[in-house]
Each structure stands twice: as structure tokens, then as C-alpha cells.
Amino acid sequence: MTTDASSASSRFLRGAAQTFAAPLGALGSISTVAMMIVTTIDVVSRNLSGSSVPGLIELSGTLLIATVFLGLSYAGAANAHVSVDLVTSRFPVSVSRRLAGLMWLLGSAMTVWFIYATAVRALASFQMREIATGLVDWPLWPARWLVVIGFVAFLVIALVNSFLGLRGEPLLGEDDEDDDSEHPSPSEAPPSTTPAPAFRAAPHGTEETS
């Protein structure tokens, strides 16, 4: 009964985390496409008229922030963040997963500090209505709140991965990956036991027919 409840809670957390991260990942992808379009328009304008379109440079900076920070949680849910498993790959799967869970827990603690620092800065920026002066006066406080939102979403994913990893379960994005112990790689496959065909030399002066 306890095992069933534990599996149900893990399934719920996986589904909730991926449902939570997917829209943010989609917004990050849309921001990437929009940034490409804005940059292209700005380049074309520079080549044709010799000047930039007012506001496009500032807009591309905000879109870049949205691309990076809104995509953090989705990358965590899809197991797409850069990782080095040179050491942990030599451990049993259960041990490496628990080590990964511990690392995610430490990352969660750091993310809490990131959230606090960026939220304080975003609040101050909002209160003073911080702007960047260029071809146009561009407000900076919305982009600062995007950073906070991105870190909060990433914290949710980090806590879920910490929970799963410390229990020895696959992390988010690893659901379809099989354990090495269950499916050995081709280099570790047992040697073939099929006997080699025997060849008999034909007597001198005769032809061997099939």
C-alpha cells in the first residue's frame, strides 16, 4: 500500500512539473523566434536606411531575457541542462540518481538565494520605474520580473528532481531511459555461440560442387 501511494505521488509530481514547465518553454521558444525576427528587421533597416528602427534593440534585449529565463524550467523538466557524468556513470544507477538528487537539492538552495536577490532588485526597479535611455526610453522592470519568474519556476523543477533523485527514481526527462544494468550496451553483449561453418578442402584435381 505504501509503495502504491509513493508511486502515485511520484507520477503526480512528474505530471504536474511537466505541465507547469511546458507553457514557459513554449513562451521561451516564441521569444527566440520573435528575437530573430526583430534582429532581421533591424539589420534590414540599417542596410536600407542607415538607421535602426526605434525600440527594436531594446526589445531584443527583453526577448533575450525571456528566452533564457523562461526556458530554465523546461530544460530542467526535459533533462536538457548540461551535465557531466564522468564519475557518476561508474556508480550503480541507484547511487548515481541519489547523487544527482543531492546536487539538485544544493541547486535548489542556491536558487532560493537567486530568487531573493533578483526579487529585491526587481521591486526596486519597479518602484523607481527604471528605464534604459536610447533611441526610445525602454522600461527595464518587466525584464527584471521575468528573471524572478524564471528562477521561481526553476526552483519548482529543482525541488521535484531533488525528491525523485533522493528516492532513487529517474529524474524528470529520464522516464523513458532504461537502466544500464537491464539493457547492456552492444560492447557488453555476450559473445555469439553460433558455431562457425566448417570448410573441407576438396581433393586435388576435383571441383567442389554446391
Residues 97, 100, 106, 112, CA torsion sign:
negative
Output the nine-digit C-alpha cell for 157.
523543477
Output the nine-digit C-alpha cell for 98.
541519489
pLDDT digits (tens, 9 = 90+) for 75-128: 988 888 777 777 777 888 888 888 888 999 999 999 999 999 999 999 999 999
Residues contacting residue 52 through CB under 8 Å, at least 6 positions apart: 42, 45, 46, 135
pLDDT digits (tens, 9 = 90+) for 137-182: 889 999 999 999 999 999 999 999 999 888 888 888 885 444 444 4
Q: Are strands 131-133 and 137-139 parallel, antiparallel or unpaired?
A: antiparallel
Residue 6: what pLDDT?
Answer: 65
